[in-house]
Amino acid sequence: MKTTALNLIALVGLSGVALAGPLTFDFKDPKGVNNATFTLDAPLEAISGSANGVSGTVTFDPANPAATKGKIVVAASSLHVPNPVMKDHLHGAQWMDVAKHPEIVFEAKEMKNVRTDGDVTTADVVGTFTAKGVSKEITVPVRFTYLKDRLAARGGNQQGDLLVLRSNFTIKRTDFGINPGAPQDKVANEIVIGLSIAGAAPRP
C-alpha cells in the first residue's frame, strides 16, 4: 500500500516536471495577424511598410525564460509598401533582391538581462540577423508575453498556449548590402524594424 502511494506520488511529480518543460511555439499564424513593420526616413515622406509572411519556431520555457531559443523567418516577397513603384524597387536587385534572397531571418542564440514579471519577460536577445544573404550578430530587446491556455480563445478547438513577441530595433541597410549606393540624404541608412508576432503551442 505504502509502495503504491509512493509510486503514485512519484508519477504525479514526474508528470508535473514533464508539463513544466520547454514549449515549442509555431509562429506560422493561420489568422494572419503576425507582422513585421519597417520604416526608413526620407525627405518628403518616410518609407513605411510591413510584411506578414512570418514563420519559424521558438522554444520557450515559462519556468526558465533565459533558455529561450528559436528562429523567426520573414518571407521577403511579403514586404509591402503602398506605392507600387517603390514596391517594385524594394523587391528589386538593388534593394532586397527577393528573387535571390527570399528569406529574412533572425536566429536567437543567447538571452541577456532577462527579467520576468508575471507572464511578461523582457530580455536582450543576441542572435544572427540575415538579410539579402548577409548575416550579422545583433542584440535586440524583446518582450515575451506568455498566454497560458489562450490558444482556444482565438478560435478552433485546439487547446494550448500562446507566446507573443514584440521587438523594435534598428539595422543599417549598408551593413546588409541593401542599396548601399543610395544617398543617405534621400533615404536614411537606418531601418527601424518592429516585430509583433504570436506563436502557438498546441497540446495534443
Partner 1 sequence: MRRFVRILAVLVAVSAVAFWAATGANRGWTKTSVPVKTLDEITGIEAITYEDRFLPGVDFLGAAGVAAGLLVGVSFLFRKQTQQQQTVRT
Name the site residues for partner 1 (rule: CB under 8 A).
31-35, 37, 44-45, 50, 52, 80, 82-84, 86, 145, 147, 150, 153-154, 162, 164, 196-198
Residue 33 CB, shortest distance to partner 1, in Å, is 4
Q: Which is nearer to partner 1, 35 or 68 (CB)?
A: 35
* Residue 198 Cβ vs partner 1, minimum distance, rounded to whole Å: 4
Residue with cell 513577441: 165
b (16+ CB within 10 A) / e for 11-36: eeeeeeeeeeebbebbbebeeeebbb
CB of 54 to partner 1, least distance (A): 11
Rounded to whole angstroms, how far apart are CA atoms 173 and 90?
12
Closer residue to partner 1, CB minimum distance, 36 or 176: 36
> Taking the alpha carbons of 5, 6, 11, 17 in that order, is the dihedral positive or negative?
positive
Query: Do 103 and 75 contact (CB within 8 A), yes or no?
Result: yes
Q: How far is the CB of 98 from partner 1 (least distance, A)?
A: 17
Task: Please identify, using beta-carbon distances, which residue of 34 and 68 lies nearer to partner 1.
Answer: 34
Instruction: Considering the complex, state which of residue 88 and residue 137 has its C-beta at the smaller distance from partner 1.
Output: 88
CB of 168 to partner 1, least distance (A): 14
Closest CA to 144 of 171, 177, 166, 160: 166
* H or E stretch at 146: strand 134-147
Q: Between 130 and 168, whose beta carbon lies closer to partner 1?
A: 168
Report the alpha-carbon angle 105-51-133, nearest 5. Answer: 30
